[in-house]
Structure 1
């Protein structure tokens, strides 16, 4: 049978459940949904312009991921992470991201480095009132590294940990000048990767996460 060439897969639009999930994610990340408040599933569906079915699907996914707590017949709340959970999240991120940075230092192409620098440059161009945009770029910066290497299991684990980071992302930016510090720390990681120095890259990743954890804990 002849092989088909020059044909690319058709990208399917996200399902309504996936769209609801992404919009709720954004609302958590930009602070529209906050801790200590109880939210109605019906009101959320109305705000999103959707039926309850895809919204419920999204909420059940977020509940399984430990991001929210679903309350029967009443709605949902954002989860309050314990100090032990927060420490575990940062410990896991430090182990994984230092490993990824060291591997990337040995394998990154000029294009890989350019893409990482582009994200850091975009962060630097934001002001301190643009927290949501800053955090979105932060997420892209960290996840791009494992995606670039094709480390599927590592990447999947990191994506799961980023979900928990939505709950504490704003806290990591509370200290004065933390925006500038994050940009500088990201640049240090990229510089070490570009220099082809795996030990320096791993240490830069660990230092960045230690500094972020110090604020969040």
Structure 2
């Protein structure tokens, strides 16, 4: 077997930087760190109980992913998605997720339906007694479980990045109390179509779910804009 020359050993990843990355990522998803305020890396490092270096690395990584913006010598803030960017995210999700559910409906892996229904059972319980953040975590788990079950890892990675972009819409836009029952109904429709082995129905159920989610996010955005205009009239 040929020997590879000219390469050096890979260093172990910085666990503190990874920890800071995950904590900051969760804070964006949960709306703890949100669009508007300017945040200090030093204060975040103090809150997390670590030095500024891993926090800085986490901020740089999330900036590269398009979730944060860095202001030189001032701090960082959460990016705001433009209307065109929001539309692109939803359009891409539609293309990828309909492909995923078609694949699942055409060739459903053993226990796939049971695994998906188990997530929905947990999400239903959280809708009754949990928090907005917990509901959003399970929503994400449901959507990212499907490409894993379909053995589509690259599609899953891409969808994961698109889900990250969705966080920039804000938790209030993505997990509104009045939407909980509708979201669960829409999720069950997707799984029912997969279980029935109906690719067309599965794709239609995903498209409907994304359309209603987009409409809810758009309505939330218009409400904020109207409120801003009233306050500044």
Partner Cα separation in structure 2 for residue 156 and residue 26 of structure 1: 17
The two structures have a TM-score, normalised by structure 2, of 0.84
> Residue 39 of structure 1 aligns to a residue in which SS?
coil
> Residue 177 of structure 1 aligns to a residue in which SS?
helix
What's the counterpart of residue 211 of structure 1? 212
Which entry has the higher C-alpha Rg, 1 or 2?
A: 2
- Report 1:107-118 matches (<5 A): 107-118=107-118
Q: Is residue 42 of structure 1 aligned with residue 42 of structure 2?
A: yes
CA 1:24–1:103 in 2, change beyond 3 Å: closer, same or farther?
same
The two structures have a TM-score, normalised by structure 1, of 0.90
Is residue 146–residue 155 contact of structure 1 (8 Å, CA) maintained in 2? Answer: yes
Of 53-62 and 149-158, more deviation after overlay is shown by 149-158
Q: State the 1:173 CA deviation.
A: 2.6
Partner Cα separation in structure 1 for residue 56 and residue 167 of structure 2: 20
Unaligned 5+ segments in structure 2 are: 1-11, 219-233
Partner Cα separation in structure 1 for residue 14 and residue 141 of structure 2: 19
What's the counterpart of residue 6 of structure 1? none
- Report 1:1-217 matches (<5 A): 15-127=15-127, 130-170=131-171, 171-174=173-176, 177-217=178-218
What's the counterpart of residue 3 of structure 1? none
State the number of aligned residues.
205
Q: State the 1:14 CA deviation.
A: 7.7
Is residue 135–residue 169 contact of structure 1 (8 Å, CA) maintained in 2? Answer: no
Of 131-140 and 164-173, more deviation after overlay is shown by 164-173
Q: State the 1:147 CA deviation.
A: 1.3
